Amino acid sequence: MRTAPVRTVVAALALTATAACTAERTGEDAEPARGSSAPTTAPSTAPSTALPTAASPVSLPALMAKEYDGRALRLRRVLARTDAYVRHAVTYRSGDLRISGILNVPRGKGPFPVAILAHGYIDPAVYTTGRGMMREQDYLAREGFAVLHVDYRNHAGSDDDPDAERDLRLGYTEDVINAVLAVRASDDPRLDGDRVGLVGRSMGGGVVQNVLATQPGLVDAGVVFASVSSSTVDNYRRWIEDERPEVARSIVRAHGSPEDDPEFWAQTSPRTYVDRVTEPLLMLHGTVDDTCPPRWARATAAAFEKAGKDVRLVWYEGEGHTFGPQWPASMRATVRFLRQQM
């Protein structure tokens, strides 16, 4: 792994704040070697962080210690055919759960590098398979990536996990880890399981950070758009404590509040474990994001930089949470970065 100081870049075009967040409360971020012989557990490297001896079963150390068996990636039906790729409904296994999603496979022989997408928050009651990051799905497939968009447990056709909210949605991280392993275990010759990158948006950016911190060596690189904070307390204060009091009460009953049990909350925050990360991270953030404040991105990048990690923070002047006119530029940066790393 190469390390480099954080690089902060302001996009060349200065645009007005009218491109700021326009998501509705029911839309995305309403809160803000292949083959059967492939290994079925995530690769591990010796962590440099001393893990707590009595970590909660709901924690990133618990995800570090867990054995994963992502498998059974199945193409269920064709949803659409374009000039550049075919869009499939898919399922795979994440532990005991069946997870749904979509897979865009470029036309041609392959094998194609794989981009696994972790979407932002969308109310599961209105979520439909593949919803969220639709622009990114299309763009990356047209650039020659096989794109697996994960629905997460409790979404669309995925199985239910009744404890997902109480347990701070850490199960979503398991589902993305198992998506990588399911790709690797697939016998589809078009999928290159040796070249896999993660792309996450908002809440999905937090999922990507969790994967990088808990499973070093699993993928080649990570990209996050307008990510949530790398501190779980920030996210809890922003979206749960006041806006969803019934969920806040269930969390506090099960795990204690940030004031009562700060160690638990530290153990659920990827910032605590950035020194475990071995893959480069590209962060893309708008300067007027009022959903995931720019200070969160600065704090995350600073933590990675302090740990000597390869992190690149790119600012887009005048862009809000959803990205508007400069979204194509952000995708060009994403493709360049993934091709360099994969």
Tell me the pLDDT band of 52, cut-offs 50, 70 and 90: low
Angle, helices 170-185 vs 203-214, to 10°: value is 70
How far CA 213 is from CA of 30, 49, 220, in Å, comes to: 26, 10, 13
User: What end-to-end distance do the CA atoms of the chain give, in Å?
Assistant: 12
How many CB atoms within 10 Å of residue 234?
19
Q: From the CA atom positions of the chain, what is the Rg in Å?
A: 19
| pLDDT the model gives residue 95 | 96
d(CA 234, CA 60): 17
Structure tokens belonging to residue 248? 């806040």
Q: What percent of the chain has pLDDT over 70?
A: 85
d(CA 105, CA 124): 26
What single-letter DSSP state applies at residue 19?
B
At 297 the three-state DSSP class reads helix
In contact, 119 and 29? CB cutoff 8 Å: no
Q: In the predicted model, what is the mean pLDDT of the chain?
A: 88
Instruction: Give tens-digit pLDDT for 150-165.
Output: 999 999 999 999 999 9
- Residue carrying the six token digits 């470029």: 106
How far CA 161 is from CA of 179, 231, 312, in Å, comes to: 17, 24, 35
Closest CA to 175 of 99, 63, 71: 99
Query: b vs e for 211-225, b when ≥16 Cβ sit within 10 Å of the residue's Cβ?
Result: bbbbbbebbbbbbbb
What single-letter DSSP state applies at residue 239?
I
Instruction: Give tens-digit pLDDT for 271-320.
Output: 999 999 999 999 999 999 999 999 999 999 999 999 999 999 999 999 99
Which superfamily, per CATH, for 7-341?
Alpha/Beta hydrolase fold, catalytic domain (3.40.50.1820)
pLDDT at 187 over 80: yes
| pLDDT the model gives residue 51 | 52
Write down the domain spans for the chain: 7-341
Instruction: Give tens-digit pLDDT for 240-279.
Output: 999 999 999 999 999 999 999 999 999 999 999 999 999 9
Instruction: Give tens-digit pLDDT for 219-239.
Output: 999 999 999 999 999 999 999
Q: What pTM was computed for the model?
A: 0.88
d(CA 235, CA 334): 25
Closest CA to 155 of 132, 185, 180: 132
d(CA 237, CA 258): 10
* Burial of 126 from C-beta contacts in 10 A (0-12 / 13-18 / 19+): exposed
Tell me the pairing of strands 97-106 and 146-150: antiparallel
Structure tokens belonging to residue 46? 């010796």
